[in-house]
Structure 1
Amino acid sequence: MELLKVSVATDHTPNQSLRLCCGSSLRGQRRPWGSVGEGSDCQRLLWGCLRPRTILAWLQGPAEPAALFQWAGGITSVVQEDIILLRELHVNHYRFSLSWPRLLPTGIRALTGSAAEQVNKKGIEFYSDLIDALLSSNITPIVTLHHWDLPQLLQVKYGGWQNVSMANYFRDYANLCFEAFGDRVKHWITFSDPRAMAEKGYETGHHAPGLKLRGTGLYKAAHHIIKAHAEAWHSYNTTWRSKQQGLVGISLNCDWGEPVDISNPKDLEAAERYLQFCLGWFANPIYAGDYPQVMKDYIG
């Protein structure tokens, strides 16, 4: 698919089926670390160590880890307050992300034996109450399964998204969420901005896990994320869709690229190449079954 041609539209009439919503990610939600018994995640550890308040705390003397890894502050009880604010804004759709380590502290759902012990019941209850509160206010929940907060154990023990086994671990986590919340949640997003997650986590090191695996890290991570999305989608389609009648998608982010000179073939080619490396990288495998040809030509 030539992505530049997608920008050409002859009808600018808003689609009446379009739904607008507000949203937040896990990192923006107001609650303290460890508030409902969740495990640690590599995103929290990295950013917790980089926050000015953390540096100041270390300079002032030893502190408890729980005090160092606080996010924006507040407690889970503010959820009701937030829903009231959403109602006042006449919002009828709200997108939020689940925390993988909050629901599965180790990141792994045991399928036999101690399966029940691996699931954090308080985490299940927290999100279940949130979903119920949204629905009681006529607000449709749109739920993101993973927004960069990989369970720390999966990163330390298995190498995180450098390991193809992550696709199966993510599928098992997704199935837990479908099982626990799918009777009420009908709109699922597997990953939020996976390209940035792979690039900044495994290439530039700007985000967790902070690795700089130049030239290979982001491509391996992205490939395994795409496989994880496929595993979750097919699992929902096979096991849950007939009963729950929901939708499963992915949230892809891309800055648009325009040619400097639309009459110059090289500029047109450069703009199209940029879009393929940015958006087609994930969209093509998901919707067309293969990577963009230009990516295969350049990186094999």
Structure 2
Amino acid sequence: MTGPLIALTGSTGFIGRHLLGALTAGGYRVRVILRRPVELPPGLSGAVVGDLARPQNMAAALAGVDAVVHSAGLAHAMSGTPEDDYRTSNTEATLRLAQAAAKARVRRFVFLSSIRAQTGPSAPGIVTEADAPAPVDPYGRSKLAAEEALAGAGIDYAVLRPVLVYGPGVKGNMASLLALAARPLPLPFGGLSGRRSLVSVESLAAAVATVLRAPDSLRRPFIVAEPDPLALPEMIAALRAGLGRRPGLLPVPAGLLALGLRLAGRAEAWERLSGSLVARPDGLAALGWTAPLTTREGLAALARGSSPQSS
């Protein structure tokens, strides 16, 4: 392979694994930066073991690299991770890696941030890059602080703010929803109307490729979201369609569901179930990015791939 050389962090994580495959399939040479030695898939142009919190010795890792794609970091969690841990992993490590990339004369630094750098778990209107960022938790604040620090790192950069990402191997809330949809039982969510934007790993990888190819300086954030936000009943219907089943949804009043979850101490879960978070990827669209599949198609494919019948 003779394509541009990309240094990729986070290649063993959910998103990073998919980016590794997409980048190599797209003709890029990929050198992964790892915290510890692991078994690697074929097709790499190299691997380097290094500590992102101490990137003083990154000269060899970044030698000859055209761009860095930084997907490593401390993921969002509902449990109380200390804010200092988020700052160390998501802010300080990102800045130091970007500074090392600038010293190595890397052309562009692509940072996988999050929509939570811009907003909380729900938003009343359509979220765009023109809105002032207003993160509400330590995770979101650490991502926004990293974005702001990149402006002074001396390198051209692109910040990607994906909404909730789904795909094979997904964990967290989407994995829970997938498991719920797979049960052969009616679900009481037919009356919920809050809409949410999602993005598949395929669409996110296409966004990474778009900012890597952009010829002009970027130095800005880009929301990454597929253009067809869905309500929770529509998500479940798409997942169950992938399994060849009917939606099986009951229109239980939203107030009754809210009461039950609050009595169970799951008020945050209610906000995620009922609230809206619709985001519009204006910046990426201006660069020519389009999602390779709709959210309905992606969710159906995800369910088919997770079905016992498909294995």
TM-score range, shorter chain: 0.3 to 0.5
Give 1 or 2: higher helix fraction: 1
Query: TM-score scaled by structure 1?
Result: 0.36
Query: TM-score scaled by structure 2?
Result: 0.35
Give 1 or 2: higher strand fraction: 2
